[in-house]
Amino acid sequence: MKDKNLLMIPGPVQVDPAVLHKMGVEMFSHRSHEYETLQADVCAGLQKILKTNGNVFVITGSGTAAIEFMVSNLVASGEKVVCCVNGVFGKRLSECVKAFGGDMTVIESPAGSGIDLNGLKNAVKGGDVKIIACVLNETSTGVFNQIVEVSRIAKSVGALLLVDDVSGIGNPFAMDEVGIDAIATATQKAIGAPPGLAFAIFNEKAMEKARKTPHMNFYFNFETFEKFAKKNQTPYTPPISILLATKKSTELILAEGVDAFIERHRKCARCTRAAMNALGFRLFADPAVASNCVTSVACDFSVELVTKMKQDYKVQIANGQDELKGKIFRIGHMGPVDWKDLLLTVAAVEMALFDLKGEDKIGVGTNAFMREWLKR
Ligand code: PLP
């Protein structure tokens, strides 16, 4: 019998068969009424999940494409931007801002901790900062950044707040209530669809800013996207199959209920952490800012552990990235993930620990996981 693979990385995530099934249909024109209804439905679903009335732009590409759409249309060359960096994706966001000519100050904080709010407050003191940019969920470290506080700081100086929300869905977050002006997100994380489709969402303030910002782009030109979005179309050919899958996956989230969906992510995170603690690992992310979507675990043999789990037990978790490679491993728990997936993942960690270190902790992590799960 084929040994089934279990994908537990922080994106792309497992995709529900009902979602995958939606992709296996004949193509139709992206200039048809059928397509317009599809795009309208996907955008309306996303608005509900992100709790926003913002304008949704459908972007063909991965999350980085939506980030580039957001940055290239909202950051004018020479404009003062403060970017908060506490991991790989914050750094990449800052590089994108730089690529489009933003006059950037980086507020850096150590990996595993949240955004340096005092540093941010000091950086915006001059009053000439036009834009603050940050990552909502820093996937490289498992940190859910303090977005409410960052938004308050942005408001206090009238700066526009741009957020990389590629992996943030599944955490408690309401775009309009928190006061985010623009976000970028993608399908392959908690939305639970295949990769290749992304979204940028702009509130009215961001729309106004984009209309008057000179931009150095072509494919992602704001005016063209705005014109086509009014007809529920994209300027260029969209990935229709992934849109069909995303329509289904957003319907599944809405049927579960957005709050119940977030609560499931929170519980998966809590139980995974209980299991890792019971196995004697140190959690890498500061518990005060730990994400619902990914658990990062300090481990100096993480490369061996991740390899062993994949090769021998067909359970795939992720290594640390860049300088955290070999120092942490990461377990993704976003999208259509449930306790059974995580229990098997914890069991595979236990077996790999036994294989690699001769440590007999069989049943210790799984026991802690199940006991935590039983707490309602
Ligand atoms: N930002 C965050 C927070 C991410 O987690 C990722 C991918 O993991 C990206 C950006 C890049 O997204 P993509 O690989 O879809 O371009």
Ligand 1 is surrounded, with C-beta below 6 A, by 11, 62-64, 89, 135, 137, 139, 164, 166-167, 186
- State how beta strands 282-283 and 294-298 pair: antiparallel
* Beta-strand relationship, 315-316 and 6-7: parallel
Which helix (DSSP H) or strand (DSSP E) does residue 310 occupy?
helix 302-313
Say yes or no: do domains 6-12+257-373 and 18-255 share a fold: no
pLDDT, tens only, 183-213 = 999 999 999 999 999 999 999 999 999 999 9
Residue 93 Cα to ligand 1 midpoint, Å, equals 10
pLDDT for the residue 112: 98
Per-residue pLDDT, averaged over 314-340, amounts to 97
Whether pTM > 0.95 for this model: the answer is: yes
Tokens at 135, concatenated: 């990552």
Choose one of 7, 13, 60, 64 to mutate for the ligand 1 pocket test, by most ligand atoms within 8 angstroms of C-beta. Answer: 64
Test site for ligand 1: of 89, 147, 169, most ligand atoms within 8 A of the Cβ: 89
Kindly give the distance from the C-alpha atom of residue 140 to the centroid of ligand 1, in angstroms, as a whole number: 9
Q: With b meaning 16 or more CB within 10 Å and e meaning fewer, what string describes 331-352?
A: bbbbbbbebebbbbbbbbbbbb
Give the model confidence (pLDDT) of 140-155 as tens digits.
Answer: 999 999 999 999 999 9
Q: How far apart are CA 233 and CA 193, in angstroms?
A: 20
CATH code reported for the domain at 6-12+257-373: 3.90.1150.10
Structural domain spans, the chain: 6-12+257-373, 18-255
Length in residues, the chain = 376
CB < 8 Å & 24+ apart, contacts of 104-107: 104/80, 105/80, 105/81, 105/129, 106/82, 107/82, 107/83
In angstroms, the CA 376 to CA 374 distance is 6
Q: In the structure, what pLDDT confidence band is assigned to residue 1 with cuts at 50, 70 and 90?
A: low
Mean pLDDT of 343-363: 97
pLDDT for res 376? 75
Residue 120 CA to ligand 1 centre (angstroms):
23
CATH 3.40.640.10 correct for 18-255 = yes
